[in-house]
Structure 1
């Protein structure tokens, strides 16, 4: 790695899975002659769990400047490859970049709203999933499964925020604006094509993560371990007799993964069923609309799947954010994206006192973008209804937060080499990551603050 001018650099040794980056490969991807190239690691340890990212610097013949790309490919570990295959996450992301996101951007153009609903998308130059038709030779699956995209960091100066610290209010607001753009565009797309469900046209948007056939069922043991660790953290902080601890224990019993799946059903959330999960139920409201809210949801809105561009005059203030990693995108209620984002990426001391204000940022942005796209918002999309539905989704957010924060807040120096032992079962690898997490004081404080707040507000 890092050797310049070598005509063939095997980023992944052929004897392991047959994928290599060569002059020929790059010329096929970019349809240009390559003069020189060099490669490096594309992400830091602990930043990516489903794929391997390789940074590639290419000088094309006749051009003086270097071009920077990321090549996203399958991992070496057989268990991780099998999980990716089972979840179909790689082909889902390629579909998003090559088909759905361009259609949404074109819709904004057709509505004359491209300068208002200007969804930021990383340029993708090529990709292939063996078994799908494409310009690459059909070979065994391990040869050429990849997505090639512009490296926004080195090309335009985008950067990733600190996952351990989480986002401040300026970062959170701009993410909510971008999230609202995608949600509004996908909602407008449904209306334009007269679709009851996006999945009627695009089965790629059916959730596979928590379905009966989904691979998450293999992680029930890991989830139990995480729940046990998180319960111990809150008991250490609050005392085992505290009612919040007792309530947490009741809410992380063994069917947690199944209950998470209830929020991601193809036909939407069963409002009554999910509100029955709340310790303090909302007041009856005969005018409340229970029709499911369904639109395109990113599905994995956490800090590492966001790249920020900053104002030169105000270096710490972001002016643009690009959402990346569309591997588990799905049609779902927008509140699942919101809960996922808030609980994974905005730390409790900032999130809790500012929650209503941040929800209002999202609400107003969604209305504004729907207006620009000349489409009525989701039925019953008032701020009060959004808050009610989000409160219900906080239950989902808690179940997501326990495992996600365990990984997100793990110090980089403790991040494992996911491909070190290819004979090790994937669930065992994740169990090793979880081991000892109850000693992480920052994680303990975050989990405890979250649990206590959800108890005080009657979610659990």
Structure 2
């Protein structure tokens, strides 16, 4: 792979966007955005397109920044999925919301899409810049609180309900889409060694009293050979977000103190259980104290909001996801919280200056050489403590 000048790639696309929107002889400015360790697959940019007597376009762009080795290891075609989301899936969801005449309060919102480049190693998407509307990313090193978490799961419930509604309206197409986006367990073979080393990293920072019980539980219940069960649920299967963590959500605090949350980063949509998204938010975005006070409250709130979102779309929650099925799925997926602690926390809690690169020759294995932060053992031990308290470990 040759080195790609991501700004040059972006500017070519921005020129095309300017022409499509009739910005004649435009002034195009581009500014790189630091990700502070929150983004590993893309270079991020803020851009503006302006011309006299027209409203300035305030844009946000993502340009692929993944090397050949990491691409061969990835479990999903990230950039293809994101283009599909913005060009096809989300517009279909918008039509469903329109047909059901949802109010602004009841709608799922996502950034406006302006254009993309599908070329290999130049994959780019350009969206509206939500920061110009007052939205900001959550501090990934800070635990979510109830005000934020409750709104985050409301948006998640809307996303999941729209998937179910899409399936009701397009059953054949939906079945084909789920089959296409179903997880392929064979792809895990590429990560076997990485998983074992991540387990060793986790055990090494676990408090002495829990070291052996964590190792034995992971090997027995959540070992590498069993991970695929979390990606092939026998319960409700929908189009899940796949990476529903605070750094992939934008939020705004309104004058009355209420919070609006907009999910972004649709690179990891896959056919899976809604519980995977819910647990992803909980176990990557919160600490032990939050879960001690709000875990039950949050999982109840999610289900209530899912039922509400389904009814808003003229669907029967009891038909599509009965409470007993939801509770069974919660129980079946419970080990996934520990899996996330092992797999995701080293990177999610990393300090910005130590964030791994997906461009180098180590590919995804660069995670293993990442210098972990002091927050990593704190968050991991918090999850372990939860599982001991819940009688699982």
Where do residues 327-346 of structure 1 align in structure 2 (5 Å cutoff)?
Answer: 327-346=267-286
Q: Tell me whether 1:62 sits opposite 2:52 in the alignment.
A: yes
- Aligned to 2:106, the other structure's residue is in SS state coil
Match of 1:35 in 2: 26
For the pair shown, the structure with the greater C-alpha radius of gyration is: 1
- Aligned to 1:253, the other structure's residue is in SS state helix
> Residue 118 of structure 2: which of 129, 143, 160 is its match?
129
User: How far apart in 1 are the matches of 2:245 and 2:16?
Assistant: 33
Match of 1:51 in 2: 42
Match of 1:281 in 2: none
**Greater alpha carbon shift after TM alignment, 67-76 vs 198-207:** 198-207
Q: Tell me whether 1:148 sits opposite 2:126 in the alignment.
A: yes
Deviations 1:248-272 (A, max 9, x none): 111333973442221222xx33xxx
Where do residues 361-372 of structure 1 align in structure 2 (5 Å cutoff)?
Answer: 361-372=301-312
- Output the TM-score relative to the length of structure 2: 0.89
User: How far apart in 2 are the matches of 1:27 and 1:303?
Assistant: 32
More helix by share: 2
Given that 1:17 and 1:76 are in contact with CA atoms closer than 8 Å, whether structure 2 keeps it comes out as no
- Aligned to 1:312, the other structure's residue is in SS state coil
Q: Tell me whether 1:347 sits opposite 2:287 in the alignment.
A: yes
User: How far apart in 2 are the matches of 1:91 and 1:50?
Assistant: 13
Following superposition, the deviation at residue 114 of structure 1 comes to 4.6
User: How far apart in 2 are the matches of 1:374 and 1:105?
Assistant: 15
Q: Which has the higher contact order (CA 8 A, sep 6+)?
A: 2
User: How far apart in 2 are the matches of 1:400 and 1:198?
Assistant: 28
Deviations 1:279-317 (A, max 9, x none): xxxxxxxxxxxxx21122111101110000111343xx4
Given that 1:198 and 1:295 are in contact with CA atoms closer than 8 Å, whether structure 2 keeps it comes out as no
Where do residues 299-310 of structure 1 align in structure 2 (5 Å cutoff)?
Answer: 299-310=242-253
- Aligned to 1:309, the other structure's residue is in SS state strand
Match of 2:65 in 1: 75
- Output the TM-score relative to the length of structure 1: 0.77
> Residue 189 of structure 1: which of 163, 166, 191 is its match?
166
| Corresponding pairs, count | 388
Given that 1:56 and 1:68 are in contact with CA atoms closer than 8 Å, whether structure 2 keeps it comes out as yes
User: How far apart in 1 are the matches of 2:317 and 2:197?
Assistant: 41
Where in structure 2 are there 5+ consecutive unaligned residues?
Answer: none
Following superposition, the deviation at residue 162 of structure 1 comes to 0.8
Given that 1:198 and 1:205 are in contact with CA atoms closer than 8 Å, whether structure 2 keeps it comes out as no
Match of 2:326 in 1: 386
CA RMSD, aligned part only?
A: 2.6
Match of 1:429 in 2: 366
Given that 2:341 and 2:383 are in contact with CA atoms closer than 8 Å, whether structure 1 keeps it comes out as no
- Aligned to 1:445, the other structure's residue is in SS state helix
